[in-house]
């Protein structure tokens, strides 16, 4: 699907009253939820990020775009999450300490719920203890999200702690600055480039026992 310019501009321009309506219009017109998300909405978030980097936009604009994105996601998520999976197992997801970005993490959480997992959402700014508590309460896979290059290294602290204290738990990392190479370097059990990939990795780890 080609990008819907009106939706793209409404998300990047932070038009939170307009975005849900435009998303609904796209769904009603038969557009695929994943394409609406990728081609128009995530593309718009990337664009506002680039403008921020070039000092053409500032934190308030990023915040408005984030709110508009979230408004759109509330309409899109039920359609995104609809899938044929049966009930599976328990997982937990959080954004790591120092990091307040949660849109990507929320998307991964939604997709996992839609795939049949019982997801504990630990929120943002999560310290090691929070992840460990979730593992102690029975989560078999822990997912850590980071959007900042400065918060990525904290994932290693989470992994080191969990590998020592919760030997059976698996840890997946993801978020815009994270790569497979980085994931390997900190001994993560998996890396999800996007929300769909995260679900596939969780499926794989669950099947592996």
In Å, how far from its chain's centre is CA 56? 26
The Cβ of residue 8 has, within 10 Å, a number of other Cβ atoms equal to 18
Enter the tokens of residue 204: 């794989």
Distance CA 6, CA 160 (A): 45
CB of 157 to ligand B1M, least distance (A): 15
Q: Which of 95, 200, 184, 107 lies closest to 145, judged by CA?
A: 95
> What separation, in Å, do the N-terminal and C-terminal C-alpha atoms of the chain show?
38
> Are 57 and 51 a contacting pair, CB within 8 Å?
yes
Q: How far is the CB of 176 from ligand B1M (least distance, A)?
A: 4
**Residue window 33-72: x/- pattern of binding to ligand B1M, with contact defined by CB under 6 A:** ---------x--xx-xx--xx-----x--xx-xx------
- C-alpha torsion sign, points 147, 150, 156, 159: negative
Does 100 interact with ligand B1M (rule: CB under 6 A)?
yes
Specify the DSSP class assigned to residue 145: E
Kindly state the tokens that stand for 160: 């080191």
In the list 99, 120, 121, 189, the residue contacting ligand B1M (rule: CB under 6 A) is: 99
- Cα(36)–Cα(43) distance, integer angstroms: 10
110 lines the binding site for ligand B1M (CB under 6 A)? no
| Beta carbon of residue 155, minimum distance to ligand B1M (angstroms, whole number) | 9
Binding ligand B1M (rule: CB under 6 A), the pick from 26, 39, 77, 102 is 102
Instruction: Map residues 139-178 to x or -, x wherever contact with ligand B1M holds by CB under 6 A.
Output: ----xxx-xxx----------------------xxxxxx-
Binding of ligand B1M by 130 (CB under 6 A):
no
Options 10-18, 28-36, 93-101, 161-169: segment touching ligand B1M (CB under 6 A): 93-101
Residues that bind ligand B1M (CB under 6 A): 42, 45-46, 48-49, 52-53, 59, 62-63, 65-66, 98-105, 107-108, 143-145, 147-149, 172-177, 192, 194-195, 198
């Amino acid at each position: 699907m080609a990008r819907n310019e009106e939706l793209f501009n409404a998300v990047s321009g932070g038009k939170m009253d307009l975005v849900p309506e435009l998303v609904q219009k796209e769904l009603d017109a038969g557009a695929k939820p994943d394409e609406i998300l990728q081609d128009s909405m995530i593309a718009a978030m990337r664009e506002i990020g680039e403008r921020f980097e070039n000092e053409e936009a500032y934190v308030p604009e990023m915040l408005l775009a984030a709110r508009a994105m979230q408004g759109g996601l509330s309409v899109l998520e039920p359609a995104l999450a609809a899938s044929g999976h049966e009930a599976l197992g328990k997982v937990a997801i959080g954004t790591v300490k120092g990091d307040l970005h949660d849109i990507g993490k929320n998307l991964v959480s939604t997709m996992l719920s839609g795939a049949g997992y019982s997801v504990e959402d630990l929120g943002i700014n999560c310290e090691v203890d929070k992840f460990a508590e979730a593992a102690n309460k029975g989560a078999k896979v822990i997912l850590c999200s980071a959007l900042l290059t400065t918060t990525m290294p904290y994932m290693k602290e989470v992994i080191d702690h969990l590998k020592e204290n919760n030997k059976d738990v698996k840890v997946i990392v993801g978020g815009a600055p994270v790569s497979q190479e980085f994931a390997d370097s900190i001994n993560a059990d998996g890396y999800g480039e996007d929300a769909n990939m995260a679900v596939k990795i969780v499926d794989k780890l669950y099947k592996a026992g």
